[in-house]
Structure 1
Amino acid sequence: MTAGHTPNLGLVCLTVGPEVRFRTVTLSRYRALSPAEREAKLLDLYSSNIKTLRGAAEFCAARGIRLYRLSSSLFPMLDLLGDDTGAAVLDHLAPLLLEAGHAFADAGIRVLMHPEQFIVLNSDRPEVREASVRAMSAHARVMDGLGLERSTWNLLLLHGGKGGRGAELQAIIPDLPDAVRLRLGLENDERAYSPAELLPICEATGTPLVFDAHHHVVHDKLDSQEDPSVREWVLRSRATWQPPEWQIVHLSNGIDGPQDRRHAHLIADFPSAYADVPWIEVEAKGKEEAIAALRLHPLLNAPAQYTPDTVPLE
């Protein structure tokens, strides 16, 4: 984050082209299979997805992409209650999974995951909370299997969950399994949790805040990502990262303007507040095309305009 710094731009899960595509199976289709058929199905599917994941590492390395978001659907049925078939198959494939993880590490590519929206750690329904912890533990198991360290370098990212239950979220985080808790990050969203609502939770639990300027603009009904509050939240969220050089933010534009929640194909409006952020996940429909276009942006080819100093809370 010094003068002349160029942020690392991250690819999210898939490519626009055919290079990175993962296979899946529906729950209804899976349940229609016999136990032997289930095992064979998952063995074929998991093997294929590990091979594709290895290809994703090669794809990113060839293009100088140093941040990659794993698909949270790599290994369907892994967290299925009462069925350990997925876990047994993944154990069988452990050497291949570790090789895929080494491919990212050897290329110097940071890896993280942003699990599904249905994971709500602070739900008011006990069965949802239990299922959410089970799902997060399955994702953490995958990251362990890839050989990824248990730290926020390899983030497991969630939104705040059910609105109005910040205290419940803060209370559950310390009790999460280490494989989850040590990787956990929280992200502001467009409706339930602003960065101001997440910040006290992050500070109390030692959880980094991943700031999303697009969500912030929609939530607060702002005119653009050039609003001064965007820079304020870049800095306040940076203070939750240890070390600050690991900070990640999310970047996207609305299709029809700042208040449009839908992600545009490319990034036309890059917020100047992001110019010195070290790691940026590009949440654009154009995937690798958006990253390639962003690398030509003037703000990413000029000396950084800001210092990493934090903004004191009022």
Structure 2
Amino acid sequence: MLGYPGLNRTLRDRDTPVRCTRGMQKQTFEERGLPYVSTLAQQNLTDLYELLQWNRDHGITLYRCTSSLIPWNSQFALSELPAYNEIQRLARRCGDLIREHNMRFTFHPDYWCKPASESAETRARARRAIEYHAEWFELLGLPATPYYGITVHIGATYGDIGATAERFQAFVNTLSDDARAHLTVENDDKESLWSVPQLVERISDPTGVPVVFDYHHHSFTDRGYSYREAFEMAADTWQDVRPMTHYSEPACLRDPTVRPQAHAEFVSDPPGWLQSAADVMIEADGKERAVLKLRDAKA
């Protein structure tokens, strides 16, 4: 299956935008508190349902949701929210739609989520983030499995890749069973950071955490492996679950002034072997339009 992450540009551009990305700044959270969080969460979940319906109607069954779904969730338990029963109802409605139509639904906390940091405080923040994303899956009524993944980057090696791997392994052991069951790791987009073979050997083999293969990122950290070789290494970590992959094409192919890591608006040529062996998240600035354009071109 093919899918896209984050906002849906078609729905966002309506006169009344549909989006599940409503958040707030720290000052607003401190001033307006949990009642406003509850209001935003209900709006986000209502619009998420409409977005998932749009995906279903357009044959898109893979979607990565924003981490703004329930703003500031690191600061409170879900059950503390006013109108929690209504939030539960709205979330379960989304989860029922996902399961009824065999959709795949994932999260991807941002780069500030650093589970192998040298800082205990930073690792604690990462743990809270992964745990509340796992709680969102529970709220949706979706089972704890990497099929519904929470994908993180390890990022820096902090000058000692072995020690960093050990911190990550210790970090995984501090997670709840559900959070650990959702957790996946992705290869990075800088030569000095984590490649697929390093993730497989130092992270997945010791912990069982599956590796998400990012096709574009591999061009920065190939370590002498072809795209297909690296994908097959990552795919073997998924055991009985269909692998998840990310595919994008560099914007610098069309505009040499942008940084090499930047994603193009659309994509033209995901390898057939990748699509046949994995679910593919199209990471293009065109979002759902990129998926539809690609699918129409292949028709």
TM-score category by the smaller chain? 0.7 to 0.9
Q: TM-score, normalised by structure 1?
A: 0.83
Q: Which residue of 2 aligns with 1:55?
A: 50
Q: Secondary structure at the match of 1:153?
A: coil
Which of 70, 76, 79 lines up with 1:75 in the alignment? 70
What is the Cα deviation at residue 268 of structure 1? Answer: 2.5
- Secondary structure of the corresponding residue to residue 17 of structure 1: helix
- Tell me the TM-score normalized by structure 2: 0.87
- Residue 239 (structure 2) pairs with residue 242 (structure 1): yes
For residue 76 of structure 1, report the CA deviation from its aligned partner. Answer: 0.8
Mapped contact 2:2–2:282 kept (Cα < 8 A): yes
Q: 1:172: how far off?
A: 2.0
**Is 1:256 matched up with 2:248?**
no
Matched, 1:217 2:213: no
Measure how far apart 1:175 and its partner are. 2.8
In the TM superposition, what is the alpha-carbon distance from 1:247 to its structure 2 partner? 0.7
| C-alpha contact 2:152 2:185 (8 A) present in aligned 1 | yes
What is residue 207 of structure 1 aligned with on the other side?
209
Matches within 5 A, 1:1-314: 8-19=1-12, 20-22=18-20, 23-31=22-30, 33=31, 37-80=32-75, 83-84=76-77, 87-89=80-82, 91-92=84-85, 93-163=87-157, 164=161, 165-191=164-190, 192-200=193-201, 201-220=203-222, 229-243=226-240, 246-257=242-253, 260-298=260-298
Cα pair distance change 1:145/1:90, threshold 3 Å:
farther
User: How many Å apart are 1:149 and its aligned residue?
Assistant: 0.5
* CA 1:94–1:287: 2 relative to 1, 3 Å: same
Query: 1:213-265 CA deviation, whole Å, 9 max, x = no partner?
Result: 1001023499xxxxx71010111111111215x11110001101398110100
Q: Following TM superposition, by how much is the alpha carbon of 1:153 offset from its aligned partner in structure 2, in angstroms?
A: 1.2
- % of aligned pairs identical? 28
* Greater helix proportion: 2
Distance, in Å, in 2 between the alignment partners of 1:21 and 1:207 is 31
Contact 2:247 2:281 in 1 (8 A): yes
Give, in angstroms, the shift of residue 184 of structure 1. Answer: 0.8
Task: Look up the SS of the partner of 2:128 in the other structure.
Answer: helix
CA distance in 2, matches of 1:184, 1:42: 26
Alpha-carbon distance between aligned partners in 2 of 1:220 and 1:210, rounded to the nearest angstrom = 14
Residues 39, 85 of structure 1: 8 Å contact kept: no
Q: Deviations over 1:126-161 (max 9, x none)?
A: 111111101111111111100111011111111123
Q: Distance in 1 between matches of 2:131 and 2:280?
A: 25
1:168 positional shift: 1.5
- Taking the aligned partners of 2:71 and 2:57, their CA distance within structure 1 comes to 28
Measure the CA separation in 1 of the matches of 2:198 and 2:210: 13
**3-state SS of paired residue (1:39):** helix
Q: 2: CA distance between counterparts of 1:153 and 1:89?
A: 31
Please state whether the residue corresponding to 1:185 is helix, strand or coil.
Answer: strand
**Structure 1 equivalent of residue 15 of structure 2:** none
Q: Which amino acid aligns with 2:19?
A: R
Please say if residues 57 and 107 of structure 1, whose CA atoms lie closer than 8 Å, have aligned partners that are also in contact. no
* Unaligned 5+ runs, structure 2: 13-17
Q: How big is each residue's C-alpha offset from its partner over 1:169-205, in whole Å with a ceiling of 9 and x where there is no partner?
A: 1232133111210111110011221111101111221
Q: Helix, strand or coil: the match of 1:218?
A: coil
Whichever residue aligns with residue 170 of structure 2, its letter is A
| SS of residue matched to 2:262 | coil
Deviates more, 1:258-267 or 1:195-204: 258-267
Q: CA RMSD in A?
A: 2.2
1:87 and 1:26 map into 2 onto residues whose CA distance is: 20
CA deviations over 1:26-76 (Å, ceiling 9, x no partner): 112221x1xxx4232112111100101111210110011111111111111
2:3 counterpart SS class: strand
Unaligned runs of 5+ in 1: 1-7, 223-227, 302-314
Deviation (angstroms), 1:266: 0.2
Does the residue aligned with 1:69 lie in a helix, a strand or coil? strand
Q: For residue 210 of structure 1, give the secondary structure of its aligned residue in structure 2.
A: strand
Q: Which has the higher contact order (CA 8 A, sep 6+)?
A: 1
